[in-house]
Every structure is written in structure tokens, then in C-alpha cells.
Amino acid sequence: MKNKEYIINPSALSYFCSHCEFLKQNYNLFNSSISAGITQTLDSLEKDYFLGDCRKIDPNLPEGEVIDPYNDTFFSKTLKDKKDRPFRIKGKGDAIIKFKDNTCGIIDYKTSKFQKHITKPDSFKPDDLEKKIREYDPQLHAYYLLYSNLEKDKFFLRDKYIKRYRAKKEETIQKGVKRVLEKISDVEVKKAKIFGLVFIYPEGGISTEGINIKMTHKFCEVKIDLDNFMEKITWYLDIMHQKDPPPPPESCNNCIMHKHFFDLEKLN
């Protein structure tokens, strides 16, 4: 594992369990999640609504256009942490803002409570929103590193395309790589101006004709601090490069393996 180039998923930095992530990265052992169809539908509706003028997100934003990064997974070039160890970012973000001055905004949509609800005011505490912002902060920084350092090497993209689509015909492979490069030219970014989270939540609405859900949203700007983010990446890689996995924590509810089946002796 000493010279391994780890590929980091942005969401893993927010929902982080050192034990689970170690097993996933070093042994390919992980608890597969199932995405609900209704969640995917809501995500698509949210993304479509905010496309175009970025001031639909917040009227105080500078003039710019919200674009959808194709709902497609991209890879970054090989990057280095603060100890000169290689890593890549792999993922797909929710939205990118292209501002008129050629800077960018990295936006992530979260279907989550952002204020007290009229019928259940006690279900939301004042510090809940700040906690969520801190939790999702690393994702935005990771997406910026991804889209500002997109991998364009044709041999790398060719290999990934073949593995993903099991393509065999050379003509098909060449066309596929060309499409990926065209997408990269659309979504790649330079200097960052704004990172932000858009919290979206239903406020209800039932009539005799059916259920009409009104969604409200709140834009929360996140401080850009790439130096601090690289400290987090270095800390992450410190854990991944350990000889043995960190002990199973009691607090993690995302993986069953460490609570019932984990055995270090058998793993080794």
C-alpha cells in the first residue's frame, strides 16, 4: 500500500468512518447502498430547476450560468498531498456556476431541513444547519479539485471507458473517448469564486385534488480554504496507508461488517 494511488470519492469525506473507508480502499470490502427511485427523481427535478441564471439559487450571486456536469463521473489528474503522496478524486458534482469573469462556483444540493418547521419547531436546533455545512464542506472542495484538474490523458480515459462499458470495437472506444473529452471541455473550471450548499426541503401542501408539494430552499456560502482541505486529505491518506485498519467504532451505522463480522486475523 506504500505506493498506492488512492482514488477518493468526495462523499466519503463527509460520511467518513476510518474503519469502513480503510476496508473499502485497501480490501474492496464495503456495504453496498441502494439508491431509492424517489430520491433520484427529486435530485433530477432540483438540478433542472436551478439550471440557467444562477440568481435562481440566490439573488445576491454575481451574474453567471448554472450548468449540469452531465451527471457523469470524472477523474482528476494525479494530485499530491502534503507528504507528496499520490491520489485522485473521482466523482460527479451537482452543479457548476460559470461566472461572467471566468471564475466558477461549486454547488451541491441537499434535500435536508434548514429551518424550523411550523408544525414541528423542536425537530430543528439552531446549530443543526452549521453542523451540516461543516459536514458537507469537504465535498465542495473535492469537487473543485476534480473539475479544476480533470484528467485528459487519452490512454487513461480509454482504459476507463473500456472497463466501464466493456467496449471491444476500436471505433466505439475512440468515439467514447472523444465524447468524454468534449464533456471535459464544457465542465472544466479555473479559479473558484464561490462554494455553496443549496438546502431544499418540502413545506407540504395537500388539497382535495391531491398532494402538491412546495419546496423551499436556502443558499449557504461555504468558505474556500484549499490549504485546510489538503490537510484533511493528508490526514485521510495517513489512515489509508496504515498497516492495519483502525478499530471498529461504535458510532458508525453505515456498515454492518465491523459490528458483526470483522476479524483482523482473518483479514490479514
pLDDT digits (tens, 9 = 90+) for 225-255: 999 999 999 999 999 999 999 988 877 776 7
3-state DSSP call for residue 6?
A: strand
- What average pLDDT is seen over the chain? 89
Q: Is 144 left (phi over 0), alpha (psi -120 to 50) or beta?
A: alpha
Per-residue pLDDT, 117: 59
8 A C-beta contact, residue 47 and residue 70:
no
pTM: 0.91
Cβ contacts of residue 134 below 8 Å, gap of 6+?
Answer: none
Nearest to 236 by CA among 81, 93, 91: 81
Give me the amino acid identity at 101. Answer: D
Say what percent of the chain tops pLDDT 90: 67
3-state DSSP call for residue 80?
A: strand
Fold of 6-150+188-267: Lambda Exonuclease; Chain A (3.90.320)
